[in-house]
Amino acid sequence: MATLRDYYSRIGVDEKKLIELNNELKVNSFTGITEIVHDKRLFSLMQAKSEIWGHGQSMNSKEISDELFSSHQNMKNWNRKITPIYSIRGFVIGVARPGKEAAIDYEKINHYSHCTCDPCSNGQRVLGANNPHDMFPYVEKDNVLMSVKRRTLKNGTIKVTPWTFEHIFSLIENAYISNDIQFALELLGTIIVRTAFMLDHEKDDLGVLKLHIPKVSTLEMTNRLPTLGDGSTEVPIEALIYFLDILGFNEDIKVDVCGYRNLQREYSRNTKPQDSGRTNTLLTISHMLAAILHRRPIGEFSYGLHRGLGMNAISKGKIIPAYPLLAPNILDLLDLELDELNWSPQF
């Protein structure tokens, strides 16, 4: 039976490297972490709802989708307000506003049945509203929108679809071609777990809370897998992480507007911080990566994704067995057999 030590040795990662990475990535405990990071998440929600990343002018749904279709190759022509947030090797990752749900004629937002806003608690549940803070996360290079799939239709027109979970899943799955890359994807999944809980977010000189990706791990990851996608859709792997981070800000906005006020839910006994929003979305990506790496059962992941209407966060107790670099001390895990970590059979 193979141990975790045997596994890493087979894919060419030595113990010294594991310890170095573990020192940067370790998390003391995932128990109670939602409460511990809540203030930081709340600050990030307020920041995203503020005017720091401008809300832009009023637009309707057609104006927003027409602009995406006509000017995806030249974002300078956008009427939407564009705010760059991160940059990496000539690529810029930021937000455009208004997002689709912020269009003045958008009316698909229904408050949750447990929402406690004034109209909802007075029996007038809010249905058919818009989400005024919605934003469109993007990756661009030289004003060309990169976080899209472009497909030429039979009649010659180009169909433009902004990145969906499917695109992100296939970018990752298509990269998985060697042991070197297997370890790069493990690092990617590990960093995404940390990003879900905002463990690497710090305020910059202007007081803006932003992601600072762990340096040693990022270098190790990019040495093995610098980019995702190919040809005209190739982006630095860090661009995906930054994109997911901005998606995370926006996911918190979405659940806040629907009734998890300040990312909390009121129960009969007390009010509790929720994992819905950023945490749920990013841990779904980490779960998918764990399934691609044969560390979580694909059936369980996909059935849960169906049942969860597109969301299936990896549960807190399963994070460390799937991503051992997050353990408080990886040396405690190295002699465990892969069976004991509940990994799917490895080849």
Question: What is the smallest separation between the CB atom of 277 and Zn ion, expressed in angstroms?
Answer: 16
Residue 339 near residue 1, CB atoms below 8 Å:
yes
- Count of positions on this chain that bind Zn ion (CB under 5 A): 5
What is the footprint of Zn ion within residues 201-240 (CB under 5 A)? Answer: none
Q: Which two three-digit tokens encode residue 131?
A: 């989400």
- Measured CA to CA, the distance from residue 90 to residue 205 in angstroms comes to 22
Residue 129 near residue 154, CB atoms below 8 Å:
no
What is the footprint of Zn ion within residues 299-318 (CB under 5 A)? Answer: none
281: nearest Cα among 256, 306, 312, 253:
312
Of 120 and 305, CB closest to Zn ion? 120
Of 117 and 341, CB closest to Zn ion? 117
Question: What is the smallest separation between the CB atom of 265 and Zn ion, expressed in angstroms?
Answer: 12
Of 111 and 318, CB closest to Zn ion? 111
- The two beta strands, 235-236 and 264-266, are unpaired
What is the footprint of Zn ion within residues 44-103 (CB under 5 A)? Answer: none
Residue 98 near residue 80, CB atoms below 8 Å:
yes
Residue 139 near residue 235, CB atoms below 8 Å:
yes
Question: What is the smallest separation between the CB atom of 103 and Zn ion, expressed in angstroms?
Answer: 20
Contact range with Zn ion by CB under 5 A, out of 107-115, 246-254, 303-311, 328-336: 107-115
Residue 111 makes contact with Zn ion by CB under 5 A: yes
Contact range with Zn ion by CB under 5 A, out of 108-116, 145-153, 171-179, 210-218: 108-116
- Measured CA to CA, the distance from residue 84 to residue 159 in angstroms comes to 25
Question: What is the smallest separation between the CB atom of 109 and Zn ion, expressed in angstroms?
Answer: 10
Of 126 and 181, CB closest to Zn ion? 126
- Measured CA to CA, the distance from residue 39 to residue 10 in angstroms comes to 42
What 3-state class would DSSP assign to 202? strand
Question: What is the smallest separation between the CB atom of 270 and Zn ion, expressed in angstroms?
Answer: 20
Of 120 and 216, CB closest to Zn ion? 120
What is the footprint of Zn ion within residues 165-184 (CB under 5 A)? Answer: none
Of 123 and 317, CB closest to Zn ion? 123
Bridge partner residues of 92 (DSSP): 87, 140
CA 181 to chain centre: 20
What is the footprint of Zn ion within residues 112-131 (CB under 5 A)? Answer: 115, 117, 120, 126
Residue 265 makes contact with Zn ion by CB under 5 A: no
Of 113 and 152, CB closest to Zn ion? 113
Of 108 and 306, CB closest to Zn ion? 108
Question: What is the smallest separation between the CB atom of 267 and Zn ion, expressed in angstroms?
Answer: 16
How does DSSP classify residue 227?
A: E
Segment holding 159, helix H or strand E: strand 158-162
Torsion of CA 112, 278, 108, 58, to 10 degrees: 130
Q: Site map for Zn ion, 131-170, x if CB under 5 A?
A: ----------------------------------------
In terms of DSSP H, where are the helices of 227-335?
237-258, 278-292, 298-307, 316-322
How does DSSP classify residue 337?
A: B
- Residues of this chain that bind Zn ion (CB under 5 A): 111, 115, 117, 120, 126
